[in-house]
Every structure is written in C-alpha cells, then in structure tokens.
Structure 1
Amino acid sequence: MIRNNKRIEDSGQHQQQQQQPQQQQQQQQVRVWRALQVSDMACVLPLGPPGSALPGSLLLLQSAVDLLHLLKQIREVRGAYGAWARTQDGLLALMTYRDPKPGQSLETFRTSGVFAQAWASGAAEGPPGGAPEAPAGAPGVAGGASEGPPGAPGGAPGVSEEQLLGALLNAVALMDKPVGLEARGPRALRQLLDGEGPPHRRAHRAQLLAAGAPEVAAAAALLSKALQGGPQSLVLVGPPEAASEVASHGVGDLARIRVE
C-alpha cells in the first residue's frame, strides 16, 4: 500500500510539473494580447468639387499609393491589419484598420504626395517609407523639385508602361473582386445608389486605359497639393492614448466621443 501511495504521489507531482509550463505560457500569451491596443483611422481630402468625377489618371495613382506605399509602410512594416486609399465624388480617403501606431500612419499619409510624385516620375516604387522632399534652394532645384519636361517631375522620363499596367490591374481588381455572401447585399445597394451599372463600369475602364504618363504626373501634383492643405476631416476610433498620439502630430484638438 505504501508503494502504491508513493506511485500515486509521484504521478501527481509529474502532472503538476507538466501543467506549470503550460499555465505560464498561457499567462504570457494573455499579457501580450492585453498590451496590444489598435485603432481605426480615416483621413479625407478634397481633390475636386463635391460630387465630381475623378480622372482615370488619379484612379491609377490611387491604386499605386494604395498598393506600394500605404500597404507596405503601414501593414507590412508597422503591423496594422490593413491600409487603403479610395477615391469617390471628388474626395480621397486614406484609411487604416486595427492600427497599433496611428500617429506614425498619419505621417505616412502626409508623405503619400512625395511618393506619388516619385512614382509618377518613373521611380520603381517611390522613395522608401515616403522619403522627405529635397530641401528648397538646392542647385538646379526650385522648391525641392528638379527641372524636367512637363509631365515628368524630377527630370525623369515618366512612369513606365509596366508600372501603369500594374496599377491598372489593381484598380480593375477593386471593381471585379468577389465578395462573400454577407457583403453582396451592401455592395449591390451601393452600386444602385451610385448608379454603378455596366455602362458606368465600361466608361470607368476606358478612363483608366486612356491615362498615360503626363496625365499621371498631373494627378500626382494634384494629390501632393491636396495633402499640403491638410485633411478635410479626420476620424479615429481607438483608445484615448491613440487620440493623444494623433493630436500630437499637428492636427489640433480632436473632438472626442466616448462610447461606454
């Protein structure tokens, strides 16, 4: 009986020793999860008169900014769940979703104009991370942009056909991508309200195909000018610390709504 009791005690101690590392691991995972605070943010800029149709060159540029700048810097580098650029009715919206660093993402929004002009001038992916503009007054530079032919900022020959094709495929995919059952109803309602039928889609594709390097360069200048003017509105959904972080990046005092 003593031996049996000893075996039972030994087996109980062995089970406790196996459970302790698992419990410690679970506690560590919980601590990491609680430390992660994320926010959703949207920055809206006017690009034209309210309700106006935007040119295909601007839609191509939006596609490049979306895929090569926002997605890389905000999602791949800083770990947000997603980042997008969308244009509609004369407005540009720059957005992040489940973003752990919204203040830094706001700075990435501001460098989108620098990226757009670099991409439109023929750079493969624009300056990494939205590099700052060249200082004004540099030799052969007026206001930080070197001389070059119209439609090609920085003196470069302009965006290549390969770059335009990549942006075109991404822009068309935004219209044609399949959605789940739960999203088909809202998408159909939006298309109905916007008047987005087959004629509209054909006109949209023709507009995209007609955009060339000079038009894209002009669109990049328009985007850069809009970003310099500051956002028309900024919406942040997140903890108070995130609101304070965004406000510290020069957007002024934010009107805050607390939801219990």
Structure 2
Amino acid sequence: MPRPTARNVKPGLVLLDGTAPTRAPGVVWLVGAGPGDPELLTVKAFNALRAADVLVHDGLVSSEILDLAPTAARRIDVSKRKSRHTLPQDDINQLLVALAREGLTVVRLKGGDPFLFGRGGEELAACRAAGLECRVVPGVTAALAASAGAGAPLTHRGSAQAVTFVTGHAAHGEPDLDWPSLARPNQTVVVYMGVSTAGLIAGRLIGAGRAASTPALIVENASRVDERRILTTLAGLAHSAEGLKGPALLMVGEAMALADVSPVQT
C-alpha cells in the first residue's frame, strides 16, 4: 500500500490524504470587570485578562481595564445601551461559541458581576449547550462599590436587616416586582437600570406602604473619577434622577441616611 503523501497548505500546517487537522476547542471565561475602578478588579480576573486571545467586552468597561489584556489580543465591542444594541444577546452567545471553537481563549468581560443583571447565565448556558468549557470569575457589583464609596451600608443593625437587588427595566412594560414585599421598612432596595423608571418605582413603593420620607441615595458612575452621589427621599427620587447620563443605581432604605455625599446634591 502506498504511503500517504503530505500536502503543505501553509508553513507549519500539514494535511495527510486531504484530512484537515483538528484544533482543540478553546475556553470561554465570563469575567466580572467590576464597576469601573481598575483597582477593584480581582486577581483572578486580571490573570484571565492577561491570558486572553480575544476580548469580547461591554461598552461600560473602562479603558484602563481593557488595556490590561495583551496588546495582540483581538478586541470586540458588544456594547449594549437601552434601545441601542451593537449585537443582540443571541448573536453574542453565538459569537462566544464560534470563537472558542477556533481554539481561542475567549474572555467575555462584563461590567460588575456576570451573574447580577449581566445575562451571564444565558452565555454560560450557550457554551454548555455547545459542549464548551466555560469558567466564571465574579466581579464587584456596582451596589457594593456605591455603598462602600458613600459609607452607606446595605445592611445595618437597627435599620436594614435585608437587602434586595432588583431591576427597574423590563423588556415590555414595567418590571414585575413584589411591591408589597419591597415596601416593608428596615430593608435596603437597590434598583439597577432604574433611572428612567424612577418615578414609577417610587410611586409603586409608596403606594404599597413605604414611607415617602424614606432616605434614597442615587449613585452615578460608582467608583469612577466622575462618581456623583445624590441624597434624597423616596418622594424626591424621580426629580433627583432627572438628567443623569451615566449608569446609576437607586438605593432606597433607612440606612441610606448614613451616606456621605460631600456636599449633598439635590
């Protein structure tokens, strides 16, 4: 039997009998980039960034963090803003799978934490369905950074025995939330993506029994150099949220009275 002949396709790549070589699949890392301050990035997230072949990142991830990836790493911006998506979520899922199937180390860099309103669960499920290895690196979520920066604890003896994270944004209509439960006193309610619905949220909470005088803290661009804090009340939440441009959190609860806004902005 004649021996198979080798065909050189390009330097370093050899085919035998026309059979294409197979490349081992890569790995996808879902990495939390934190709220923006590079110093709040975890060591594990930093190490993942340094090993990236390709970086698929959100638009809110700071340039200082993006610059930690190797210069040779390919960068793909999949920014999503309200009513303006660079890529639909399903396309992002497919992109991660396609890149990993090329044998690349893919870092999906997400603001905050991948599993807290970051749709990281959908991306993890897509990778698992494709039979790809997917690892998750937690990040400092914006609520923790906002709370720490303002000195307003999310839980505090005597004024906040619980904390609940909710989203103020829904795909269609108002968010489906348990307003009576959220209206109970002595707890902190943190609302992500709630600036545009601040009036609705305040109205629902007051209507369900939360006192209109309950302290409320708005933190825009938490942990960044242009961070802004506004201390108000539940009744004044909608007015105080007007005109905010950057990503902002609404934090409602008795413990927010401890916030240091230096000076208070109203």
More strand by share: 2
Q: Which category describes the TM-score, using the shorter chain as reference length? A: under 0.3
More helix by share: 1
* TM-score (normalised: structure 1): 0.20
Q: Which has the larger radius of gyration?
A: 1
* TM-score (normalised: structure 2): 0.19
